[in-house]
């Protein structure tokens, strides 16, 4: 990833999380960490990149509901995670675990 030096990390994250391939790879890597708090941060990064209000609208969720679900103390339901991912052009999938 060759990022120009004058681009902040936050700006870079926002731009890269708009790309579905980059966002999917990021979320998949975070899932591998097996850390629910890290997954919330990743989902929040992706949602912020697409605009939280727009994601809430597309997911048919209230703004406050989305912010609360993806907050550090959030505990989103599987349905909410599914709606958020769909709102940003991603979907859940399951693959066999490697042993």
The one-digit pLDDT tens for each residue of the chain (99 residues) are 565 566 687 788 888 999 999 999 999 999 999 999 999 999 999 999 999 999 999 999 999 999 999 999 999 999 999 999 999 999 998 888 877
Nearest residue to 56 via CA among 24, 78, 80: 80
Q: Could you say which DSSP state residue 91 is in?
A: -
Number of H helices, E strands in the chain: 6, 0
Q: Give the separation between CA 68 and CA 74, rounded to whole angstroms.
A: 6
Q: Give the separation between CA 2 and CA 10, rounded to whole angstroms.
A: 15
- The model carries a pTM of 0.84
Q: Give the separation between CA 79 and CA 84, rounded to whole angstroms.
A: 9
């Amino acid at each position: 990833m060759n990022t120009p030096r004058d681009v902040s990390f936050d700006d870079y994250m926002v731009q890269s999380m708009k790309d579905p391939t980059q966002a999917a790879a990021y979320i998949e890597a975070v899932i591998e960490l097996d850390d629910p708090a890290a997954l919330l941060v990743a989902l929040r990064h992706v949602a912020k990149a697409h605009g939280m209000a727009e994601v809430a609208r597309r997911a048919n969720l209230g703004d406050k509901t989305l912010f609360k679900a993806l907050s550090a103390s959030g505990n989103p339901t599987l349905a909410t995670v599914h709606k958020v991912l769909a709102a940003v052009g991603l979907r859940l999938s399951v693959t066999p675990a490697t042993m």
